[in-house]
Amino acid sequence: MEWMIEHSYLMLLLAGAFGFLMAWGVGANDVANAMGTSVGSGALTVKQAVMIAIVFEFCGAYLAGGEVTATVRKGIVDAGVFAEFPHYLVYGMMSALLAAGIWLIVASWFGWPVSTTHSIVGAIVGFAAVGVGMDAVNWGKVGNIVASWVTSPLLAGFISFALIKSVQKLVLNQDDPFQRAKRVVPFYMFLVGFAISAVTLLKGLKHIGLEISYGASLGWSAVGGLIVAVIGAAILSRIQPNPEADKEFRFHSVERIFAVLMIFTACAMAFAHGSNDVANAVGPLAAINSVIVNEGVIGGEAAMPGWILLVGAMGIVFGLAILGARVMATVGKNITELTPSRGFAAELGAAGTVILASGTGLPISTTHTLVGAILGVGMARGIGSLNLRVVSTIFTSWVVTLPAGALLSILFFYFFKGLFGA
């Protein structure tokens, strides 16, 4: 440990590089998942999706990601086990970042939408259980996380199914769906604004020392929702129907309105993803920094340095821009045919589920949640609208992810032990 403290800058530089690689994988895979529905439905271009991700992913991570970061950093492994060997925790977290990052980049190359949460949790459990001992793992916390991997897609699928059915009933099945959309869509925008405001006020502002009561938070969230709805309504008022295009596709003008709505839901999804999954890259890096800054004291308090957030944000943006298109195609086009109205239902259902999870500190899988939401939208049209071959490939990649992350992490852990000393 003395060698590590003496060469702290070197260790932090190495850990930062691995954290950047992990964040790159998050951007290439999970952020692509989050933006895939918007791009696949035609509501946003890839460049527009990247710009939204830059702003709202970072805001979600900084304002609302603290609860989840704490879970990844402290909840999965028992820190007390590492009290006598704090360098093992550093080796392990470095191994977890490197292993999960490599797997995510491989999966992204093949266009597989896998779970960054699966990857990092599997990697952490792998090095802790095999490299240190079974007692090092908080199996109760792991069990809760695993349970969320089942419940979150089911919940997102249910919410998205209900949303698309409401769109069909309130808008698409009406005599004048275009005018109905102009009246109904601002309400959906209110829900988007309320959700983002609520999670920010209820869980996020503690980071900057500002705490607001529960009742006041809900009140200000309602104000935030109203502001979003008013802005949205003003934008919608300028959209005029296109009779010629409507002759070829009855809902062409209606879908233009939902395309505007999808800009708002894409922002919500990016914020929700940042609040939950950026912690997968930042959490282990923060744990490494804490051990080194506190000179080997496990559990010592160390502020979250700005450079860690910057590493996470930059890695995510580069990963999305360079390698994200492959996963976007799988999620946005290959599971089921998406239109802006269907994409809205999927994104808001997924965003709502992820935001709820972030508020409780549970690092669920954004990938599972969004795919579940897309499946819910597809089921509303009948199982025949789903590409079951693609769905089967996605499910297989999910099963492989956990053991792949664990195995790679174990190998890297023993490598670092041999390289830096046991």
Residue 359 · residue 351 · CB < 8 Å: no
Cα 372 to Cα 334: distance, rounded to the nearest angstrom:
14
pLDDT value for 276: 62
pLDDT value for 165: 92
Most confident segment among 110-124, 132-146, 162-176: 162-176
For the chain, the average pLDDT equals: 80
Which of 78-112 are b and which e, b meaning 16 or more Cβ less than 10 Å from the residue's Cβ? bbebbeeebbbbbbbbbbbbbbbbbbbbebbeebb
If you average pLDDT over residues 118-126, what whole number do you get?
A: 86
Identify the CA nearest to 402 among candidates 121, 113, 18, 26: 121
pLDDT value for 88: 84
pLDDT value for 208: 52
Flag whether pLDDT at 5 surpasses 70: no
pLDDT value for 102: 95
If you average pLDDT over residues 143-167, what whole number do you get?
A: 85
Residues whose CB falls within 8 Å of the CB of residue 236, separated by 6 or more in sequence, listed in order: 182, 185, 186, 257, 260
pLDDT value for 111: 85
Identify the CA nearest to 276 among candidates 34, 4, 20: 34
Cα 320 to Cα 176: distance, rounded to the nearest angstrom:
39
**DSSP for 7-53, written as a single string:** THHHHHHHHHHHHHHHHHHHIIIIIHHHHHHHHHTTSS-HHHHHHHH
**DSSP for 49-89, written as a single string:** HHHHHHHHHHHHHHHH-HHHHHIIIIISB-GGGGSS-HHHH
pLDDT value for 1: 58
pLDDT value for 338: 84
**pTM: predicted TM-score of the whole model, two decimal places:** 0.78
Higher pLDDT, 164 or 312: 164
* Domain-wise residue ranges, the chain: 2-420
Cα 404 to Cα 123: distance, rounded to the nearest angstrom:
8
Residues whose CB falls within 8 Å of the CB of residue 90, separated by 6 or more in sequence, listed in order: 4, 11, 15, 288, 291, 292
Residue 38 · residue 44 · CB < 8 Å: yes
- Please, how many CA atoms are within 13 Å of residue 172, restricted to the half-sphere of its CB? 17
- Which residue's entry shows tokens 């009246």? 183
Lowest-confidence range among 73-77, 105-109, 310-314? 73-77
Which of 43-67 are b and which e, b meaning 16 or more Cβ less than 10 Å from the residue's Cβ? bbebeebbebbbebbbbbbbbbbbb
Cβ-in-10-Å burial (0-12, 13-18, 19+) of 230 comes to middle
If you average pLDDT over residues 330-337, what whole number do you get?
A: 81
- Helix/strand/coil for 137: strand
pLDDT value for 210: 63
Which of 247-276 are b and which e, b meaning 16 or more Cβ less than 10 Å from the residue's Cβ? eeeebbbbbbbbbbbbbbbbbbbbbbbbbb
Most confident segment among 157-161, 301-305, 322-326, 348-352: 157-161
Residue 365 · residue 405 · CB < 8 Å: no
pLDDT value for 360: 66
User: CA 110: distance to chain centroid?
Assistant: 20
If you average pLDDT over residues 142-168, what whole number do you get?
A: 85
Lowest-confidence range among 210-214, 351-355, 402-406? 210-214
- Residue 58's pLDDT band, with cuts at 50, 70 and 90, is confident
Residue 27 · residue 281 · CB < 8 Å: no
pLDDT value for 205: 55
- Which residue's entry shows tokens 């999670």? 199
Lowest-confidence range among 64-78, 136-150, 242-256? 64-78
- Residue 303's pLDDT band, with cuts at 50, 70 and 90, is low
pLDDT value for 216: 80
Lowest-confidence range among 93-102, 103-112, 143-152, 342-351? 143-152
If you average pLDDT over residues 339-363, what whole number do you get?
A: 76
pLDDT value for 267: 80
User: Residue type at 237?
Assistant: S
Convert the pLDDT of each residue in 25-56 to its tens digit: 988 887 777 778 888 888 888 788 878 877 88
pLDDT value for 209: 58
Cα 197 to Cα 203: distance, rounded to the nearest angstrom:
10
Query: What are φ and ψ of residue 296, in 5° steps?
Result: 90, 0
Per cent of the chain over pLDDT 70 is: 84
Lowest-confidence range among 104-108, 176-180, 277-281, 410-414? 277-281
